[in-house]
Amino acid sequence: MPRQETTHEFHPDRPAAFAAGCRNADLRGPADLRHRGARLLHEHPAQRGASEPVRLAQFHRLARGAVLHLRGRIDGARYRLAAAGGVRTFVRGRLARRAWRDTIGTATVFGAISGSSAAAVASVGKVMSPSMDAANYPRRVTAGLVTSVSAIGIVIPPSIPMIVYGASAEASIPRLYAAGILPGLVLAAALAAFVILRALRSGFGDAQPMSLRGILHATRRAIWALGAPIIVLGGIYGGIFSPTEAASVACVYAMIVTRFVFRELSFADILESARNSVLFSAQILLIVAAAGLFSWVLTVNQVPQALVGWIAAHDVTPWQFLLAVNILLLLWGCVMEPMSAILLLTPILVPLVDTLGIDKVHFGIVMTLNLAIGLFTPPFGINIFVAQSALGMKSADIYRGVLPYFLIFLLVLLVITYVPAIALFSAEMFMFG
């Protein structure tokens, strides 16, 4: 009796990891993978992708769940988000436009600490929107700023997409982290310069200086929140911890500080954060395992070799390749969240990167920055939907608000793409040579 053919299409009710794994079996062909069934996962180490570097995301999620559990409590969050308010820039002899500076710095720091741009949009939008409203900022400006700036969080370490890219591309995660610092700061500075000029030209925004006492008070409360990234980055770069150990220590630190210093986290909340962490980590590791299987299928079918041969035959130069990849990633990022895009595209693109002599760390920063732009690109950017809910605005108004910042992101992307020395210098500088 002939065997009935089955199809494994993606379905909303089917977990992506299982759908992708079944599709990988179909790709290899009936004469091989289909008859081997479950033996495939035993014979091929799909779990290779779920090795130690990726487990950093697991621990990081637990720390994030503990620190961010009280995002809705604005008074407590305001102190933690005040990290950006401790540094002031003088313009025309006075402290200029405090609200937007707090928003840019807050969204950047919060996104980096949490590892989630959507969380940054929701939290920073609720906290900073009243301040910007009081400073007479148009709502559209507020929405555009919060929605776009929060995307920087996945470029500046600690970044979960960078972890996943490093594991998929077999690139150094500490070096990726170091390489992301300077590009992230350049991007934040470019946005800050634009908003300075816009605020001064349009005349909106408050110009009331913050007192020294206010700065010290905000810094004293914010220093606890800044301890987590200091532990992660300082421990990794100082050779004290492995990435997984650093994330574990930061997780414990976050729970202790939130529970005993801010007194905002109960033990029941910690258990709930741990539960959410387990569920999130399981999703990540299953998808990573399926992506490892997908990478093996591509290798067996010699897809990377075919693409390498095509590039060699058509004499494609590195700058042409990077231009094409930027366009591809910008379009891809509009319809797929960064981690899934990295898992699917990295096995295809990295062999081409190696062939063309492009540094994998530099390419990882370019890929992450492209996908960060997709987070707030209309019409499907997730940050737009989060901002729409958090700020109570129409999506059309948010589209118009993010457009100037979208163009700034593109400009910085081109600079980072074609001046790799920025990312590589950052890697060498923060890795201490």
pLDDT (tens digit, 9 = 90+) per residue, 58-69? Answer: 555 555 544 444
Q: If you average pLDDT over residues 33-48, what whole number do you get? A: 46
Ranking 7-21, 203-217, 332-346, 392-406 by mean pLDDT, the lowest is 7-21
Residue 1's identity, in one-letter code, is M
In angstroms, the CA 339 to CA 81 distance is: 26
Specify the higher pLDDT residue, 361 or 49.
361
pLDDT value at 214 more than 50:
yes
In angstroms, the CA 113 to CA 319 distance is: 33
pLDDT band at 54 (very low <50, low <70, confident <90, very high): low
pLDDT value at 2 more than 50:
no
Comparing CA positions, the residue from 126, 131, 140, 130 lying closest to residue 391 is 126
Query: Among 116-125, 169-178, 319-328, which range has the highest average pLDDT?
Result: 319-328
Domain ranges of the chain: 47-430
Q: Which residues pair with 95 in a beta bridge?
A: 90
Burial 76-108 (b: 16+ CB within 10 A, else e): bbbbbbbbbbbeeeeeeeebbbbbbbbbbbbbb
pLDDT at 28: 47
Burial 385-411 (b: 16+ CB within 10 A, else e): bbbbebbebeeebbbebbebbbebbee
pLDDT at 83: 38
Instruction: Quote the percentage of the chain above a pLDDT of 90.
Output: 10
Tracing tokens 């930061």 back to the chain, one arrives at: 250
Contacts of 81 (CB under 8 A, 6+ apart): 102, 106, 109, 110, 123, 124, 127, 128, 222, 225
Contacts of 190 (CB under 8 A, 6+ apart): 408, 411, 412
Q: If you average pLDDT over residues 156-167, what whole number do you get? A: 82
pLDDT value at 226 more than 50:
yes
pLDDT at 419: 93
In the predicted model, what is the mean pLDDT of the chain?
A: 71
Tens-digit pLDDT profile for residues 381-414: 888 888 887 788 888 888 888 899 999 999 999 9
pLDDT value at 203 more than 80:
no
Tens-digit pLDDT profile for residues 236-291: 767 787 766 777 777 778 778 777 877 777 777 777 777 776 776 676 667 667 66
210: number of Cβ within 10 Å: 16
Tens-digit pLDDT profile for residues 66-88: 444 443 333 334 444 443 343 33
Specify the higher pLDDT residue, 151 or 211.
151
Token pair of 23 as six digits = 């599709």
pLDDT band at 55 (very low <50, low <70, confident <90, very high): low
Specify the higher pLDDT residue, 25 or 180.
180
pLDDT value at 111 more than 70:
no
Ranking 82-96, 98-112, 405-419 by mean pLDDT, the lowest is 82-96
pLDDT at 302: 74
pLDDT at 287: 64
pLDDT at 274: 73
Helix and strand totals (H; E) in the chain: 21, 2
pLDDT at 408: 94
In angstroms, the CA 57 to CA 67 distance is: 15
Token pair of 328 as six digits = 């591809």
Answering whether pTM is above 0.85, one says no
Specify the higher pLDDT residue, 363 or 188.
363
pLDDT at 364: 95
